Structure 1
């Protein structure tokens, strides 16, 4: 038995909550995963996991052994990384999850630079607005916007989103231009459905100490930022989106800003990864690269975009 491999497999079973999911994430047969854990238990003469037909739970001895495995494997990887960094660039497979808009508009277009720096990293990137469970789904790290609800994740702040309220010139010509957020109730507004609560996302406004928060009326709502932008460009109504998504359309005149003298609540951006997952050289490379990328983009780190209504 390869003891280190068995320790890693045992940790993956605990993290994934079962043999089947662990085997999928490790790209190993389930029987092999089960055999390695059983061999480990036999060698230690200790039961590490309680198995039922529906779930796998770690025993008290298993939990203690898990923490020892985590520290031992982290020390080994630290030693290997410190040596390998002097001789080779990071290599291996990396699974990343990013919001759809940021992925398509900011991160993916910049990936040629990432691969120039790290040609030996093979990346799988999920682009979507659904929050994934990093450990259960075998994801190494993720970029997330907004408040972080999961305290088990390590987070590094890498940027901030500023939102802009806008609509097409044709819509504004037909329906007029709101002068106050309260007047949005007289308009068609395109809303965003959050993937966490399945509720419509509220719109926030602030000016001269006055703060307003409401969900304006509308006949159409979507659960994708890219779809929300396309609906706005189609003239379905007024929308509110991060500046990095709408700046090009504002410059081209396809969209016009409204309520420009009102500020909107900024949303922080973080890159997150699990506490119990060692920050490998590949994860570290992506974290440092995406932090540098966002730092160099004024739309993701600067003050709110200037400009008022036309």
Structure 2
């Protein structure tokens, strides 16, 4: 019995909670995976998994063996990566998932540059605001927004987005320009809601260094950044959106900033990946490239667009984000920007 392979197979079965999915991800027949686990249990003299027709679960011995296995496998991968990283040319399939606004407005306009640098990487770009299980879906990394809490994922801060409160001239002609937070009570908001909870994200403003949340009433809410912007441009209500999304329309006069003296809190943006991908050459070069992409433009580092961007593809399209819960749990952070 190949004990190292058995350890890998066992860990994968536990991670995806399925013999069939583990076999698919490892490129092995299901019967082979079953036989390997049986042989491993026989070799160790303990039962590692409880099996029923519907589910599998770890025994106490299985849980202890899984913890030790993960450490051993991580150490082996790290050791190999240390020696291979310099010599190995990044290659293979790289699966990433990003919010639709970030993908369409930031990554896609610059993706030719990444392809030119790393032609041997097959990039699979998912653009969604849904929760992604990186392990079960075999996703290498995600870009997400929000304040990060402790989690099993490795996080690299790559930038931040400033938000703006604004409205179309047609809306302001009908309802007037608010000058105080109290004035907002007589205005309508076009809200953005979370796919997971169905609740609209709260509005806030930073006044003298303190965050003030405001309950905004509105008769419409959407969960798509492009629809949110389009309806705002049509005058359906005040909107809070990422400045990088709104900037071209602010410059053209299609949107007018409201309460510019009090801006919403800045949203940090991070690239997250499982610890097992930490030293993967393809993840490492993508992480470095996307961090460099954000670094080139102050607008992608919390600026308001007045500084200008340098060497960024199509800066007039530069982006904005869909807001994530600022105090979200790690699970919530996998939903949307």
Q: TM-score range by the shorter chain?
A: 0.7 to 0.9
Helix, strand or coil at the partner of 1:178: coil
SS in 2 for 1:221: strand
**Partner residue, 1:118:** 118
Q: Calculate the aligned-residue CA RMSD, in Å.
A: 2.5
| Cα contact 1:200–1:215 (8 A) shared by 2 | no
Give the aligned partner of residue 243 of structure 2.
243
Which residue of structure 1 lines up, in the alignment, with residue 332 of structure 2?
Answer: none
For 1:154, the equivalent position in structure 2 comes to: 154
CA distance in 2 between counterparts of 1:239 and 1:24 reads 45
> What does residue 285 of structure 1 align with?
285
Deviation at 1:43, TM superposition (A): 4.1
Q: Distance in 2 between matches of 1:83 and 1:247?
A: 45
Partners of 1:249 and 1:255 within 8 A in 2: yes
Matches within 5 A, 1:34-53: 34-53=34-53
Structure 1 residues 242-291: Cα deviation after superposition (integer angstroms, max 9, x where no partner): 11111122122222211111121111111112345554222222222222
Q: 1:85 to 1:138 in 2, by over 3 A?
A: closer
Paired residues of 1:11 and 1:66 also in contact (CA < 8 A): yes
Q: Does the residue aligned with 1:293 lie in a helix, a strand or coil? A: helix
Secondary structure of 2:96's counterpart equals strand
Question: What's the TM-score once normalised by structure 1's chain length?
Answer: 0.87
Q: Which moved more, 1:275-284 or 1:193-202?
A: 275-284
Gaps in structure 1 of 5+ consecutive residues: none
Q: How far 1:47 sits from its partner (Å)?
A: 2.5
Equivalent residue, structure 1, for 2:300 = 300
Deviation per CA, 1:188-208: give whole Å up to 9, x if none: 211011234321111101234
Equivalent in the alignment of 2:61: 61
**How far has the Cα of 1:35 moved from its partner?**
3.1
Report the Cα distance in structure 2 between the residues aligned to 1:171 and 1:24, rounded to whole angstroms.
54
Q: Which shifted more, 114-123 or 40-49?
A: 40-49
Query: How far apart are the structure 2 equivalents of 1:85 and 1:272?
Result: 20
Deviation string, structure 1 residues 174-228 (Cα, Å, up to 9, x no partner): 3222112332232221101123432111110123467531231111101222321
Q: Distance in 1 between matches of 2:223 and 2:54?
A: 33
Distance 2:125 2:212 in 1: 37
1:14-163 alignment, distance < 5 Å: 14-26=14-26, 28-149=28-149, 151-163=151-163
User: Scaled by the length of structure 2, what TM-score is found?
Assistant: 0.81
Give 1:78 deviation, angstroms: 3.3
**Separation in 2, partners of 1:26, 1:40:** 17
Q: Equivalent residue of 2:142, what SS?
A: strand
